[in-house]
Structure 1
């Protein structure tokens, strides 16, 4: 009888517990016999992440199980949008560890369903994903696999299909291998696709809920940008996206942002128009000036809780930042259609500030802020992408709700369930799980063990 395939190192569970591992795939039988849940195997990050501060970091590996899935294709137009039907599927995808040409079905899904999902503008969806990512997916292996992994993760989450989720793990592993080879060959070059792949993998970490390597991807991409002074694009999207991912992740966890303040500022100043600095593409939910306030609040909060600055100094700074957010007026840049979305963000930032620094309710009239957030959220049309662009401020509002706010809590449950079902990203699901625990216990320290991003 042929022996079962084995992995090169012990599984994470056995290594953590100091137990002997039989290294069988897809799961360790040693864990199975002990009644423990096997956490899977890890693949060493080599190339850039094998040097400097990132030396020895690991990346989650997929198992060697075979997986297949079905997907209905009704329209080959890459810009056509549709919702996956619930009827029996008819289009069969080959098994795992696919050759590049077979990943094309995932690339088409990504183009149809994901590349324009977060576009906030009007007219043709000129997003960084259609302009930068999709062209590279044609002939850059690491991008192609990362796009395929993202698409299969989204579909798997939406359909609750474990085979699709396993497919995503396989493609993520292939993307990492291809990226490793690319970094080895082009270590001295500024390769946009290397940075793009790391950004895609960081976003995939958050979509899948497996954030073990999120910091590694952020740091690795930032190191390349820092070394060469640019991400190689005209509008600096990848620099700005790295800043966004880093800061928003820090607001919902106990960690300090990975990027230095000067790196954040460089990213925010990357693209300018005659009217001032702007996001390079219209896919970021929060106006760039308000985002900078979020970054400042996050950093000051971390310094405060780590006792690196005196409490009275931190509180005075918090009041200054809060007043600046309260007085911010974006009427000159806001259309009527976007006003509610941005005002929800402005109030959500104040609620984040109040909760982080434990300010009194009277400081910025917390009850009025909450009421206005939920009133404006109800007014947003559920058929626009703007509806899905308020998750972060709604989450901050949820953390500030009182014990008996039953109606508002139910509104949030429905909102985040809709986001998860439509977008196929795990964060809305995790967000409501966190809120349920906070509502039950009143303890917001649960955020210290989470990594959420909106």
Structure 2
């Protein structure tokens, strides 16, 4: 609200409360009887999300690392609520790493364990409150990110890695939801599928031999336009929209205006500064692409959180 209304006094009060909350959290972390309980994880998650919405992400990485340390502890609680916190933190960690140079704090094994907590005869369940895309797509996003981050020379992948890239692109092309989807949910899920394909094509440009990047970006925006721009469904689609924006060519002016409008509407409706940061970052990306000095490495000099 402070950002949306440009209320400096309210923003200062918000900052004061964040500092106080962080102080109390540190006290909990120093108390062995409280350091690993659900309330501590919930507090870390809330502070991480507040830091994300503030747009500066100053303490975001610190919160994530603290959460990882707690979840790796031997005496933390094994409960359904804890699994929600774990899955949400895994999601935030992975998504933040897709727009920075760092690798995720969680390992592949830890991510897989978090994703396999709940299953039934119909398959694995997930909550849209945790992350917006199906687990299958999230796993593929993890594979793409980890493959790129783990390579010592990211700009010169091996033949074996390129074969794996082609395999992942093929999986994404063929993927279909096990459930019958319709309306905004269907368009959001499809937007994520194409958005991950755009991200993969950006990190490994050689995939352009087998897929047209312009087709992928147009599909992301096509599905986005079929969702009301001021809605939770639309906000959940902003990561794929951002990836589509990064991939746009200099001449795709209408597409750029569409993305500008989406991010502006999200910022005005919600007031979270990370929407504005994403828009500002895209303007820099587009300027660099026009000047021919854009490095397609998934790093933009700041943490872009659209989760």
TM-score scaled to structure 1, two decimals?
A: 0.62
Asked if the contact 1:271–1:280 (Cα under 8 Å) also holds between the matched residues in 2, the reply is no
The question of 1:225 aligning with 2:77 is answered: no
- Partners of 2:298 and 2:76 lie apart in 1 by 37
2 CA distance for matches of 1:267 and 1:280? 13
- What is the distance in 2 between the residues matched to 1:202 and 1:188? 19
**Mapped contact 2:278–2:304 kept (Cα < 8 A):** yes
Distance 2:214 2:247 in 1: 9
Q: Distance in 1 between matches of 2:137 and 2:194?
A: 11
Partner of 1:20: none
- Is 1:398 aligned to 2:245, yes or no? yes
Return closer, same or farther for 1:333/1:194 CA change in 2, 3 Å cut-off: farther
What is the match of residue 244 of structure 1? 91
Instruction: Give, in whole Å, the separation in 2 of the partners of 1:297 and 1:249.
Output: 14
Does residue 1:350 correspond to 2:197, yes or no? yes
Where in structure 1 are there 5+ consecutive unaligned residues? Answer: 1-154
Task: Tell me the SS of whatever aligns to 1:364.
Answer: coil
Q: Residue 305 of structure 2 corresponds to which residue in structure 1?
A: 453
Is 2:115 the counterpart of 1:268?
A: yes
Cross-structure match for 1:209? 55
More helix by share: 2
CA RMSD of aligned residues (A): 2.2
**1:412 paired to 2:259:** yes
Specify whether residues 229 and 351 from structure 1 end up closer, same or farther in structure 2 by C-alpha distance, changes over 3 A only.
farther
Distance 1:221 1:306 in 2: 30
Relative distance call for 1:432 and 1:231 in structure 2 (3 A) is farther
SS in 2 for 1:227: coil
Aligned length: 300
Q: Distance in 2 between matches of 1:362 and 1:306?
A: 21
How far does residue 395 in structure 1 lie from its aligned partner after superposition?
0.6
1:165 correspondence with 2:8? no
Equivalent runs, 1:256-405 vs 2, <5 Å: 256-280=103-127, 282-304=129-151, 306=153, 310-405=157-252
Distance 1:187 1:358, change over 3 A: farther
Match for residue 2 of structure 2? 156
Deviation at 1:304, TM superposition (A): 2.9
Q: Which structure 2 residue ranges, 5 or more long, are not aligned? A: none
1:181 aligned partner: 27
> Residue in 2 aligned with 1:79?
none
Deviation at 1:213, TM superposition (A): 2.2
Corresponding position of 1:62: none
Verify the 8 A CA contact 1:249 1:452 in the aligned structure 2.
Answer: yes
User: What secondary structure sits across from 2:176 in the alignment?
Assistant: coil
CA distance in 2, matches of 1:206, 1:261: 23
Sort the Cα spacing of 1:333 and 1:195 in 2 relative to 1 into closer, same or farther, 3 A. farther
| Partner residue in 2 for 1:197 | 43
Report the TM-score when normalising by structure 2.
0.90
Could you give the per-residue CA deviations for residues 13-51 of structure 1, whole angstroms, max 9, x where no partner exists? xxxxxxxxxxxxxxxxxxxxxxxxxxxxxxxxxxxxxxx
Q: C-alpha separation between the residues in 1 aligned to 2:263 and 2:175?
A: 28
| 1:333 Cα deviation from its structure 2 partner | 4.8
Distance 2:147 2:298 in 1: 20
Partners of 1:297 and 1:282 in 2: CA distance? 23
Contact 2:98 2:299 in 1 (8 A): no
Distance 1:392 1:243 in 2: 16
For the 8 Å contact 2:36–2:75, the answer to whether it is kept is no
Q: Post-superposition shift, 1:188?
A: 6.6
1:192–1:300 distance in 2 versus 1, CA, 3 Å? same
CA spacing shift, 1:446–1:267, aligned 2, 3 Å: closer
In the superposition, relative to structure 1, how do residues 176 and 292 fare at CA in structure 2: closer, same or farther (>3 Å)? same
- In 2, are the aligned partners of 1:195 and 1:238 still within 8 Å (CA)? yes
Kindly report which structure 2 residues correspond to 1:31-110, keeping only aligned pairs within 5 A, or say none.
none
**What's the secondary structure of 2:206's corresponding residue?**
coil
**Match status 1:430 vs 2:282:** no
Residues 215 and 258, structure 1, Cα contact 8 Å, conserved in 2 = no
Report the Cα distance in structure 2 between the residues aligned to 1:407 and 1:281, rounded to whole angstroms.
Answer: 30
